[in-house]
Structure 1
Amino acid sequence: MNKTEGQMIDPSDMEIAAMQSCLAPLGEYVGSIGMQRPLADYSRQEVLTLIDVVVSAYQDRMLEEHERMAAKDRAFLEQRIATQAAGRQQGRV
């Protein structure tokens, strides 16, 4: 908080995509308990469920994206290792 002087930093593209992925589950949940009800009328349990729906969707999207990036990095490194090994093999022949 001190580094940003209490201001939220700009979200990354990945974070924006994760936030956007919350919209459908959030809409489904709000629709299931009554779209016309004001938030102030939600019960404690309904608010906690709302938070769970949003946080779970956000975390799921972030995890998927991190796994996709890790797989891409892994494939790149495996290709580099294979290329280096092939280069060493050719040097010995």
Structure 2
Amino acid sequence: MIDPTHNEKAAMEAVLPHLGEYVAAIGMDRPLSAYSRKEVLQLVDVVLTAYFDNLREITPDDVPF
């Protein structure tokens, strides 16, 4: 992301607890290269869902999705 806005930065920060929970659930000791395709896709889903949910919360009238 080039030059993220203040709200985008806040949304990125909001992702971290969700990302941490997911990684802890599948094993902190495993490198990303050892994740299965299904696990990687779930990781992407966790991150994107948390990111966009947060953007909707902080800018409900600005986000077109």
Normalising by structure 2, we get a TM-score of: 0.89
SS at match of 1:22: helix
Structure 1 unmatched ranges of 5 or more? 1-7, 71-93
C-alpha displacement of 1:9 = 2.1
Structure 1 or 2: more helix by fraction: 1
What do you get for the CA RMSD once the two structures are aligned?
0.9
- Choose which of 10, 25, 29 in structure 2 pairs with 1:17: 10
Question: How many residue pairs align between the two structures?
Answer: 61
Distance 1:9 1:34 in 2: 31
- Choose which of 28, 32, 36 in structure 2 pairs with 1:43: 36
Runs of 4+ in 1 over 2 A off after TM superposition: none
Identity of aligned residues (%): 56
Greater relative CO (CA pairs within 8 A, separation 6+): 2
Structure of higher CA gyration radius: 1
